[in-house]
Amino acid sequence: MLLHECRKGIPKWCSAFEGCHVRNIAVVGNGPLSAQQRSELNSGRFQVIVRFNYLNNRLPGEQLDIWVMRWGDTAKLHFWGLSQMTTEEGAEALGAADALWLMAEPRTGHAHWKALQPLYRRFPAVESMEHLMLSPQDTRRFPGVDRWPGTDAKAPSTGWLGTVYALQCAQSAGAVVHMYGFNWHDKHGDTHPHISDESKFFQQAEERGLLIIHPTACAGLRSCGKRTQKDARRDCRIVGTDVLGRDVYRCKGSLSEKDPAAVATTATNKAKVQALMKQLFGPAGRTALNLTA
């Protein structure tokens, strides 16, 4: 039985929340995850896991139920996430996901169906799976959204939008939302203009008992240093543990890159990805997903 069959008034975008057993939902931002947090996310505790855009900290095979992607005027496939991925990376992630939430163009609140055609051509599997075009403007009318942290010209971040949509599903199901890997510091060059308002919104939601925030590694600082420093656009990433078992962080990579572990497991080792695809989708591998090169 699907969730909308056993819950009255369930929003249309929540149909990917299968069954009436949904009690814990994880919403995972693209910030660093500690070893303990990754273990929690892989424990099977969460019936639904929501992730965003390029899935920076996700490793192949890790749970992904709802994939939220934001409209991008300069993205070659019109949405950030699949636009940056290789065919192998995109195939694995699409095979894991139950549904896509595509955030429409923020100024108009919608996107014409033609905007999806490049996505369909590159990844035909998208057309046959559940995917919804959601309007950022709709969140202004959600219960509890007293102040929309955005403007008509600049919508809130993908993390804010996806989490607020997930909160509506959670409240209908009586489930708890857990937030991991969110970056709310404004001390780096790639920050969102409304990040302070978004941070306050979720802190207030936690105080009201609507969700639980799990502190992000690196104190939630996505990059190291200030804008004027040479490391201002480098990720703060976990590189190991010290003698006391505490996570050790270093400035490594670019803000537009995946976590080094994810890169090593995907782009630089296609054999492992192909083997994983066969494990997930059977001997047909790419054929099972009807992929184009």
Residues 112-147: tens digit of each pLDDT? 677 889 999 999 999 889 888 888 778 877 877 777
What end-to-end distance do the CA atoms of the chain give, in Å?
A: 37
Contact predicate 93/56, CB 8 Å = no
> Collapsing DSSP states into helix, strand and coil, what is residue 237?
strand
Residues 172-193: tens digit of each pLDDT? 778 899 999 887 765 544 556 6
The whole-number pLDDT of residue 2 equals 40
CA 148/CA 155 separation, integer angstroms: 9
Contact predicate 29/216, CB 8 Å = yes
Contact predicate 57/262, CB 8 Å = yes
Residues 228-269: tens digit of each pLDDT? 445 444 556 666 677 776 666 665 555 445 555 555 554 445
DSSP label at 2? Answer: B
The whole-number pLDDT of residue 292 equals 33
CA 261/CA 278 separation, integer angstroms: 21
pLDDT at 44 over 90: yes
The whole-number pLDDT of residue 246 equals 64
pLDDT at 290 over 50: no
CATH label of the domain that carries residue 137: 3.90.1480
Please give the model's pTM, rounded to 2 decimal places: 0.77
> Collapsing DSSP states into helix, strand and coil, what is residue 177?
strand
Domain that holds residue 112: 3-289
Q: From residue 171, give the alpha-carbon distance in Å to each of 87, 102, 156.
A: 36, 21, 21
CA 40/CA 137 separation, integer angstroms: 33
Amino acid at position 198, single letter:
E
pLDDT at 15 over 50: yes
Task: Give the residue-averaged pLDDT of 187-212.
Answer: 79
Give 40's contacts (C-beta < 8 A, 6+ positions apart): 180, 214
pLDDT at 213 over 90: yes
Question: 3-20 as b/e, with b when 16 or more CB fall inside 10 Å?
Answer: bbeebeebbebbbbbeee
CA 142/CA 127 separation, integer angstroms: 28
How many structural domains are present in the chain? 1
Amino acid at position 254, single letter:
S
Sign of the CA dihedral with 16 first, then 30, 189, and 217 last: positive
- Residue that has been written with the tokens 């599997």 in this structure: 125
- Distance from chain centroid for Cα 137: 19
CA 177/CA 209 separation, integer angstroms: 10
pLDDT averaged over every residue in the chain: 75
The whole-number pLDDT of residue 93 equals 95
